[in-house]
Chains A and B, each alone.
Chain A
Amino acid sequence: MEATGMDNRRMAQMLLQIQQLEFTALELNLFLDTHPDDQQALAMFNKVHQDLMQCIRNYEQFCGPLLNFGFSPALQNTWKWAELPWPWELKY
């Protein structure tokens, strides 16, 4: 079934939150690769990790799996992984 416009907007909105948190985590990850003992960066990384995981869990409940190969649960009664729009198809 095609997602409705409303669902699409909600999905894009939830993805945006994930994109923001994951970008922060990625940036801290790269920084820590060359500054491995920076305690402030380590603490920020762990905080962002927690918020990111929460956002991903919310997305998985509302939309479906974000990750393949067992990193996301199949919470709906159909295999949503193959059904949700692909990243290059998402309309805003």
Chain B
Amino acid sequence: MWIYEKKLQIPVRVSGPNPRLAKEVLTQYGGPEGELSASLRYLNMRYSMPTSRAKAVLTDIGTEELAHMEIVGTVVYKLLEGASIEAIKAAGLDGHYATHDSALFWSDPNGVPWTAAYVSATGDPVADLHENLAAEQKARAVYENLICLSDDPCVTDVLRYLREREVVHFQRFGETLMQVQECMSQKRFY
């Protein structure tokens, strides 16, 4: 069960229309290391975790990633708001516009649609938690790429916040991995 809270996790402002930056940020909406992939990866992985604590971490981080998806969607929406057709063409977003107008869509900046193949689940808790550690590092790296690309200080602030969250998630997943390994290495007698 999820309850909707009618607010973003943090305030999101943009300096003005910027379809080029919207196109780039879209990668964290529907790209491989994006927030849709992150939220679905963790929420899907809860079922096969061996400890209650690991299920809690996956539930809570998965839920926070849904909130990040909403932040990224808002950034893209606001950057496209009021953008002229000329600016959209100049940004190379005319392909997106032809199919979607200014609607959001689950794709990367090159229009490659989101696929469940971005998400892995082996059912092996150690392998799956390592997958999450890698995913957090990859998301951090992509946010750093986006920070390099951003020419809007308001958007840069949001990207810096989201980058920092990946660092915290990495930390919590690392602790979870150690706890799960400890639990699995304990001898059991039947």
Which residues on A are within 8 Å of B, measured CB to CB?
Answer: 12, 15-16, 18-19, 22-23, 26-27, 29-31, 33-36, 65-69, 71, 81, 84, 86-88, 90, 92
Contact = CB atoms under 8 A, between A and B. Distances in A.
A88 B11 contact: no
23 contacts: A15-B11, A19-B8, A23-B9, A26-B64, A30-B60, A30-B64, A30-B168, A31-B172, A33-B57, A34-B175, A34-B176, A36-B53, A66-B7, A67-B4, A71-B3, A87-B7, A87-B8, A87-B74, A88-B74, A88-B77, A88-B78, A90-B11, A92-B13
Given A19-B11, A26-B64, A87-B74, A34 B172 contact: yes
Categorize the interface residue count of chain B.
Answer: 20 to 34
B6 A67 contact: yes
Nearest to A70: B3
A23 B64 contact: no
A34 B53 contact: yes
**From B6, B60, B61, B78, residue with most partner A Cβ within 10 Å:** B6
Interface string B12-41: 110000000000000000000000000000
B127 interface: no
A33 B53 contact: yes
Nearest to A88: B74
A23 B9 CA distance: 7
